Amino acid sequence: MTDIVSTPTALDITAMWCRHHAHLVPNAVHLPLPASQHVSCGLCGSKQALQVRGHLRFGADRWVNDGLVTHCGACGRFSLPETYLQTLNLLPHETLTALDARLWSSAPTFLNIEPTTRCNFNCWYCVGRHMKQADIRVEDFAAVLGNFPSLQAIALVGEGEPLLHKGFFDMANMARERGIRVTMISNGSAFSQSVIQKLCEAQIAYVSISIDSIDPATFASSRLDGDLNRIWDGIEALAVPRCAWLPLSPHRLKRHLVHAHTGRNPRHRDRSKATRG
């Protein structure tokens, strides 16, 4: 939907955003946010917009740090709400002249945290295989959360398999108890029933599974030591439990997980062609 509302209530800054940060576009497929965090788009009227932050320069040298930028998932445009612009008390000559997506901040709301560099796979391209193999200490993780009280979300990711960290759920629960939304990326190899149960109990908001390819030969050529059939089993097992907090049905969850990372519908895969390791 790309309608233009009869009277836009926001300044369209899409061209400027794309000129400076074409690669930085919120992706609702990979990181869906709850509807409660959506706002109205002042350009098309959709209720699928999100607020992101950017440093804004008005006129020659007036910078507004952490400015409120709206990105609409329906029309795809970036804008500044008029109501927000009014709060800045801009002078007539102070038009928007520059935009710096918030790549730095003294009060970050999102962090990627790497629980471990260890992994049970040995992908040929993985930088983590050439790093010191170590886990973050749970007390250091707690210190990170303490140092950034502004955090709203974290992603447990990195050059290792997060679920190999024995304190993974201690860390996830610690973050959630502080009101921080927890997401993670896994290689999908460790989804035993007990791990799945703990993932549900920890209310991990988003589990992203990186599998490189759904073609067994391609998978085997990059995910050395990996077993694609085991990954499929894990995904299917993860899709079964329907937790009360989960907005997706098990069936939709499975499709969502796989489609998001491969662009292909798992219903179309032919497991008879897969080679069991």
Binding site for ligand SF4 (CB under 6 A): 119, 121-123, 126, 128-129, 159-161, 187
Residue 215 CB, shortest distance to ligand SF4, in Å, is 17
Q: Whole-angstrom Cα distance, residue 245 to residue 270? A: 32
Identity at 24, one-letter amino acid code: L
**Positive or negative: CA dihedral 127, 132, 135, 140:** negative
Residue 209 CB, shortest distance to ligand SF4, in Å, is 10
Helices (H) and strands (E) in the chain, counts: 8, 9
Residue 122 CB, shortest distance to ligand SF4, in Å, is 6
DSSP classification of residue 206: E
Question: Is 92 strand, coil or helix?
Answer: coil
Residue 80 CB, shortest distance to ligand SF4, in Å, is 39
For the beta carbon of residue 77, count every other beta carbon within 10 angstroms: 22
Q: What are the φ/ψ torsions at residue 103 (nearest 5 degrees)?
A: -90, -10
If the CB atoms of residues 56 and 119 are measured against ligand SF4, the closer one turns out to be 119
Residue 128 CB, shortest distance to ligand SF4, in Å, is 5
Residue 102 CB, shortest distance to ligand SF4, in Å, is 28
Tokens of 115: 């629980």
If the CB atoms of residues 104 and 124 are measured against ligand SF4, the closer one turns out to be 124
**Positive or negative: CA dihedral 214, 215, 216, 219:** negative
Residue 67 CB, shortest distance to ligand SF4, in Å, is 36
Q: Whole-angstrom Cα distance, residue 151 to residue 177? A: 12
If the CB atoms of residues 45 and 162 are measured against ligand SF4, the closer one turns out to be 162
If the CB atoms of residues 54 and 227 are measured against ligand SF4, the closer one turns out to be 227
Residue 30 CB, shortest distance to ligand SF4, in Å, is 17
Paired strand residues for 67: 54
Q: Whole-angstrom Cα distance, residue 60 to residue 49? A: 30
Q: Quick check: 237 and 191 in contact, CB under 8 A?
A: yes
If the CB atoms of residues 157 and 237 are measured against ligand SF4, the closer one turns out to be 157
If the CB atoms of residues 46 and 117 are measured against ligand SF4, the closer one turns out to be 117
If the CB atoms of residues 118 and 176 are measured against ligand SF4, the closer one turns out to be 118
Region at 59 (left for phi over 0; alpha for psi -120 to 50; beta for the rest)? left
If the CB atoms of residues 123 and 180 are measured against ligand SF4, the closer one turns out to be 123
In Å, what is the CA distance from 193 to each residue of 91, 200, 254, 267? 61, 11, 16, 23
